[in-house]
Amino acid sequence: MNREIVLDTETTGLSPATGDRLVEIGCVELINHIPSGRHYHVYINPLRSMPEEAFRVHGLSDEFLADKPVFKAVAEDFRAFIGDATLIIHNAPFDMGFLNAELERAGQGRLTNTVIDTVMLARDKHPGARVSLDALCKHYGIDNSRRTLHGALLDSEILAEVYLELIGGKQVSLALIAETRVSGADAIATRTIAARRPVPLAPRVTEAELAAHAALVAKMGDEAIWSQYAGEGHTAAAE
């Protein structure tokens, strides 16, 4: 099972080194590149005032965040949700920088998960093109009309669609659906072997037709492909 977490954050500014803090985390779980329906979402009290520039981006005010938990109170739940899954992040250095700064401030270790940066994926796939999330939505025809303001969970949901397109689009989804599904130790095969009929059908080929066919095959010589089925005519005709 390939488990990935599409992740996004909102913050009070651009750099944890200058005192900016996380205010929102949104995560969407993918299993074999397909959304599982599970997600993680939390608002965080940054214990500092919200700059006007940041408020215009995500609309999270001091008043709204005042009664929300601090990061330390949610850190364990967050880490439990992501586990050791690969993280899918748009402009990963930004989000990882804030997450690791908050974890260190909370007395926890930095994240060691594998990270896939969709900005880098997009630049490799579309050299020279704009690779913002909005630009990629427009390129792939993904509806982002709900994105009037930045929001961590909504952006994660949109990024999951963009990520699927970047790694191959709907063909990936269709191929994965056709794979064997595993539940615990039991595998459900995606194809079955046809069983023989318990009571053979009545023959549809007459004895005269079988004899004529056998004579024709004999004239073709031993190398003829029909020779491989010599003697099977009666059986095949009756099934």
Q: Where in the sequence numbering do the catalytic residues fall? A: 150
DSSP letter, residue 197: P
Task: Enumerate the H helices of the chain as residue ranges.
Answer: 52-58, 62-65, 71-82, 92-105, 118-125, 133-140, 152-166, 170-177, 207-220, 233-238
Contact 149, 108 (CB under 8 A): no
Contact 42/99 with Cβ under 8 angstroms? no
Nearest Cα neighbor of 120 from 136, 131, 133 is 131
Beta bridge partners of 39: 28
Angle made by CA atoms 120, 112, 33, in degrees to the nearest 5? 55
DSSP 122-181: HHHHSTTS--SHHHHHHHHT---TT-SS--HHHHHHHHHHHHHHHTTTHHHHHHHHTSPE
Question: Which residue type, as a one-letter code, is found at position 186?
Answer: D
Where do we find the tokens 């930095």? 110
